[in-house]
């Protein structure tokens, strides 16, 4: 069975709805998103936390669409163009401001759906979160174990739910281990290629209303950041688990290709 892994990452996209912080007009939204200080902070989170995992996935057979507007200020537009040109898995889609956010997401994703695929594993990724280096490989492998559930309904979500919450503050980074179901990061929604939805079309906290949900609680699969510019600063519900400090350092390196020092610096700068 041919499984296409297809994700969407929104980078300061000027659109209405679809976010926790609402704005009445496109101009208000643009002024908020394109504030120079905010853009600089978002880029630091993207480049330091989010991007390394995508550039080093053990399974390179995936597509991550980076969605932004055609008027994204420099130097960020050029940086995204350069990334997409240098990395086959990254595609840049410039979507004009749209009032209906889900329509905008569909416009970004639709050109990249492979009609030859038997199933498309849709995922969303915020520009300030991280997935483990084997997320794509794990999603494809674990789906093979439960694909009968998908075949029955044409919809299935696979929730890799063991992660770290990274709280950023002036003192650096605080790491809170949590098993957080349907958090949105490292969550894959498997659909048929002819279905019009994307991962964004389903409220990730209400997925059982629409499809079977399979939770995979090992291994550690994501880092979710919480900082001053987060769209939602709420950690959300979850089950605590423990990790020793030395093991945390090893897991950051082994699972994500990251260092504690880089994340501490990022947290202090982006709090």
45 neighbors 263 (Cβ within 8 angstroms): no
Give the pLDDT confidence of 132-162 residue by residue, as tens digits.
999 999 999 999 999 999 999 999 999 999 9
Please determine, for residue 169, whether its predicted confidence score (pLDDT) is greater than 80.
yes
pLDDT of residue 26: 87
Buried/exposed code over 24-48 (b: 16+ C-beta within 10 A; e: otherwise)? eebeebbeebbeeeebebbbebbeb
By CB neighbour count within 10 A (0-12 exposed, 13-18 middle, 19+ buried), where does 134 fall? middle
pLDDT of residue 73: 98
Mean predicted confidence (pLDDT) in 75-80:
98
Where does the pLDDT of residue 234 fall: very low under 50, low under 70, confident under 90, or very high at 90 and above? low
Average pLDDT, the chain: 93
Mean predicted confidence (pLDDT) in 235-239:
82
Beta strands in 99-226 (DSSP E): 119-124, 129-131, 155-160, 162-169, 172-179, 187-191, 213-216, 222-226
pLDDT of residue 236: 74
- From 40-54, 170-184, 223-237, the region with the lowest mean pLDDT: 223-237
Please determine, for residue 2, whether its predicted confidence score (pLDDT) is greater than 60.
yes
Task: Tell me which architecture the domain covering 3-269 has in CATH.
Answer: Alpha-Beta Complex (3.90)
pLDDT of residue 204: 87
Domain boundaries, the chain: 3-269
Rounded Cα gap, residues 8 and 19, in angstroms: 15
pLDDT of residue 232: 61
């Amino acid at each position: 069975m041919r499984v296409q892994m297809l994700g969407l990452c929104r980078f300061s996209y000027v659109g209405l709805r679809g976010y926790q912080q609402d704005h009445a007009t496109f101009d208000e939204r643009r002024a908020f998103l394109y504030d120079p200080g905010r853009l600089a902070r978002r880029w630091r989170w993207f480049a330091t936390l989010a991007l390394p995992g995508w550039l080093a996935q053990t399974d390179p057979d995936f597509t991550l669409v980076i969605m932004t507007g055609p008027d994204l200020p420099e130097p960020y537009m050029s940086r995204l163009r350069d990334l997409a040109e240098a990395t086959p898995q990254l595609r840049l889609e410039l979507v004009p401001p749209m009032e209906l956010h889900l329509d905008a997401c569909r416009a970004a994703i639709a050109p990249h759906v492979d009609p030859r695929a038997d199933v498309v594993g849709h995922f969303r990724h915020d520009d300030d979160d991280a997935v483990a280096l084997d997320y794509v490989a794990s999603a494809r492998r674990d789906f093979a174990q439960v694909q009968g559930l998908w075949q029955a309904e044409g919809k299935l979500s696979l929730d890799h739910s063991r992660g770290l919450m990274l709280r950023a503050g002036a003192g650096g980074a605080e790491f809170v281990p949590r098993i957080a179901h349907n958090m949105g990061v490292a969550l894959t929604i498997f659909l048929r290629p002819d279905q019009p939805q994307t991962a964004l079309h389903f409220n990730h906290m209400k997925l059982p209303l629409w499809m079977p949900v399979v939770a995979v609680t090992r291994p550690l699969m994501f880092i979710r950041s919480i900082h001053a510019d987060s769209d939602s600063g709420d950690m959300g519900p979850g089950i605590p688990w423990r990790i020793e400090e030395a093991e945390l350092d090893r897991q950051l390196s082994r699972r994500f290709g990251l260092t504690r020092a880089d994340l501490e610096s990022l947290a202090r700068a982006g709090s």
